[in-house]
Chain A
């Protein structure tokens, strides 16, 4: 009784404390210690959560270890998972992974130095603690001791160095750019390493060192790679994570089994996880309804199935904002919508015919209708790269303030001033989508027809073909975007700066000085925010950059996806493992 009362009082005081901050600077009054350490301190985390409006009482319940102990009784069992929208899991080698659905699996097999938690805050994984120098350029990590790989090798600082050397070599890893800012990595002793950065980087912990989405510093096993060879390692890799891969046949699936020597003896709870790739919505629905699988991972659950799953009393459906965005990319080098220089005030730009069309194409996006018709309601209108899953950095008012906000009359007027009243005289445009997003494209084409009177032809192309056209600026419109964006840099640095990796990397540079967008102020603000460690200052810069890209139409921002988690009621999936976009099974159990 009294214990319960104490707990109640503790929760209330924590709640009060978390909300007791200057809204402009939620971290004011916290020490640097509370920002470094084993993780962002509990106080810092709670404040950030409260500032982002994401704090709930569930976060405050102390001793979550107690609930975990209670669940330990449910240890054991096999979890059958279906991986949606994919025919085969081609690789589990972090150096080659280029799909979210792949690192969803590897997050259970490998460890990194850091791993984000359910609130997208980086926590120590193999890093026990760390210190950041005052200039933000030197990170010293104390590594966990007594950690072993699945093959029995001990984990030491040498493995961090081996992974680093492998990942920074573009011949061996496709993620070398992720750690391009690291000037030097040194081993201090067997369980201490020190990273020296070229310049400070706010996203260093949650992006470069993240075990799932980061990939560059997901710790691989030298012994494993040498013993198995690259191809086999890509199928049955060896890591230090909670589960080991015991079987992997392309197209048939992956079998994970409990790693008995995982560094946390309380995890994992499950004995075995069987992951089957399932292509197509109907087979997926059939499989979970028939009980062949009891958990869905992989590509997003097809929108048309969500309502059906929600109405099934055997299933739990949990919907959260997903870390990503999707846009209509508008080629600024097409004659009838050309914008060759974005470095002018918006009012100036609005006097150019090319920009009028560009803005009209963005303004005409009836995002509410799109979400209803294409996504069956499962999405959030987007006006920038910063997504609602980021909580703290997300700008909830951007939908009202952006030049891109849906305005059919404004869009029509712009087309008319550009010389195309009711779309007359405007050429037909091609919209490139992937085959699975084709119906999204059809909805967009319909919206453009209704609002602007122009004809847009949807051209579904395989991802490999479409991205090639996009990279060399050979497209009119393209539907596409990003996923796994946990840090603002995943949206801003990867997409919005002049030399971002998708900004026309293979274009004819003599003809086109940039790909889809280039703006000096955006470049400068992003350069500044990415080295600003202080959250409130960074937030202001992030939102500033986000607003400019929105107003100057870096693209027609369309929607932020939602993360729909679907599992059988027999599965016990704790909140602390509910990381949007990922499926971490180390704390998951099956109810008996």
Chain B
């Protein structure tokens, strides 16, 4: 026990200090943290800050920007600002939940493959290689076609599509970490494999996984937007930025706001996350090209 604690704490403390120090210097990262923070707050308090019911239709269709409708109205007379604010909930939820799911499955597969090696590694890696042959987005397209549309199915499709990235990163980290002295030490002390994997190997493999996760969130948000655009998106009434853009694309030159504001929202969030990812990459000293 004593060993375990002394082995881990310095790594953590060191990491935290470095993160804090680099954030203070990194303007882009500060921007990213603030903007993403604002979006997260907006998502939480959406019902209180949105000027209208996001699904309330009126005959004021495609009205331009006004005091009553700061972002104008859409093709069904709904208030665009309210839809975008509510859309924050879904887009962020899809972005984060898919990555969490992909992370849990991918990391488990990667760590098991790397730690046990042998036949298990072979089987897992053949599957990962297979998935690696497709770009994530194509896999997501295909899985949505198999599962059907809907919030849950989209999340399942995007999550599965990102598994291989996490599995690969985790496995390669595990392969080097399992040869480290402290892992040997833990083994000789008779810790169970599970405990070694998740108590010793994983904490030391976290840096690249965190960076991968950050980047993946932005890809997941973009993937959802693209799926909606192709007609493979979330349910019809749920306002997500991707869906708002997809629905608005037939009206974009009569109502430019339909094409501009949801696109800007996507871009701002993705940009913020990319800034944060970059900062983490530097701060955690992750070299791999992801």
A–B contact, 8 Å CB criterion (strictly below): yes
B250-280 interface code vs A (CB 8 A; 1 in, 0 out): 1111100000000000000000000000000
A435 is an interface residue with CB less than 8 A from chain B: yes
A304, B76: Cα distance in complex, Å:
11
Q: Which of A431-451 contact B (CB under 8 A)?
A: 433, 435, 438-439, 441-443, 445-446
Q: Are B250 and A304 in contact (CB under 8 A)?
A: yes
- Whether A442 contacts B61 in the complex (CB less than 8 A), given A282-B249, A460-B231, comes out as no
A459, B251: Cα distance in complex, Å:
22
A430 to chain B, nearest CB (A): 10
Q: Are B57 and A280 in contact (CB under 8 A)?
A: no
A316 is an interface residue with CB less than 8 A from chain B: no
Residues of chain A contacted by B62 (CB below 8 angstroms): 304
A16 is an interface residue with CB less than 8 A from chain B: no
A232, B62: Cα distance in complex, Å:
45
Known contacts A373-B76, A443-B76; can you find 12 more A-B pairs with CB under 8 A? Answer: A280-B249, A280-B250, A281-B250, A282-B253, A304-B250, A308-B254, A376-B61, A439-B247, A457-B235, A457-B237, A458-B235, A458-B236
Residues of chain A contacted by B76 (CB below 8 angstroms): 373, 439, 442-443, 446
A372 is an interface residue with CB less than 8 A from chain B: yes
**Residue in chain B with minimal CB distance to A307:** B254
A281, B232: Cα distance in complex, Å:
19
**Residue in chain B with minimal CB distance to A462:** B231
A302 is an interface residue with CB less than 8 A from chain B: yes
Q: Are A458 and B253 in contact (CB under 8 A)?
A: no
Residues of chain A contacted by B249 (CB below 8 angstroms): 280, 282
B224 is an interface residue with CB less than 8 A from chain A: no
Q: Are A302 and B250 in contact (CB under 8 A)?
A: yes
Interface size class of B (residues with CB under 8 A): 20 to 34
B133 is an interface residue with CB less than 8 A from chain A: no
Residues of chain B contacted by A286 (CB below 8 angstroms): 253
A328 to chain B, nearest CB (A): 15
Q: Which of B140-173 contact A (CB under 8 A)?
A: 149
Q: Are B57 and A443 in contact (CB under 8 A)?
A: yes
Query: How many A-B residue contacts, CB cutoff 8 Å?
Result: 55
B77 is an interface residue with CB less than 8 A from chain A: yes
A317 to chain B, nearest CB (A): 16
A57 to chain B, nearest CB (A): 37
Q: Are A446 and B250 in contact (CB under 8 A)?
A: no
**Residue in chain A with minimal CB distance to B230:** A435
Residues of chain B contacted by A445 (CB below 8 angstroms): 237
B75 is an interface residue with CB less than 8 A from chain A: yes
B59 is an interface residue with CB less than 8 A from chain A: yes
A588 is an interface residue with CB less than 8 A from chain B: no
The CB with the most chain A CB atoms within 10 A, among B231, B247, B250, is that of B250
Residues of chain B contacted by A497 (CB below 8 angstroms): none
- Whether A373 contacts B57 in the complex (CB less than 8 A), given A304-B75, A442-B236, comes out as yes
Residues of chain A contacted by B149 (CB below 8 angstroms): 460
B60-86 interface code vs A (CB 8 A; 1 in, 0 out): 011000000000000111000000000
What are 8 A-B pairs at a CB distance below 8 A? A281-B250, A282-B250, A282-B252, A286-B253, A308-B254, A373-B59, A376-B61, A446-B57
A439, B250: Cα distance in complex, Å:
11
Residues of chain A contacted by B236 (CB below 8 angstroms): 433, 438, 441-442, 457-460
For the complex of A and B, 8 pairs with smallest distance between CB atoms = A458-B236, A281-B250, A435-B231, A446-B57, A438-B236, A460-B236, A282-B252, A304-B251
- Whether A439 contacts B75 in the complex (CB less than 8 A), given A373-B57, A373-B61, A458-B236, comes out as yes
A323, B75: Cα distance in complex, Å:
26
Residues of chain B contacted by A442 (CB below 8 angstroms): 57, 76, 236-237
**Residue in chain B with minimal CB distance to A450:** B57
The CB with the most chain B CB atoms within 10 A, among A286, A304, A372, A462, is that of A304
A300 to chain B, nearest CB (A): 13
A183, B230: Cα distance in complex, Å:
48
B5 to chain A, nearest CB (A): 53
Q: Are A372 and B59 in contact (CB under 8 A)?
A: yes
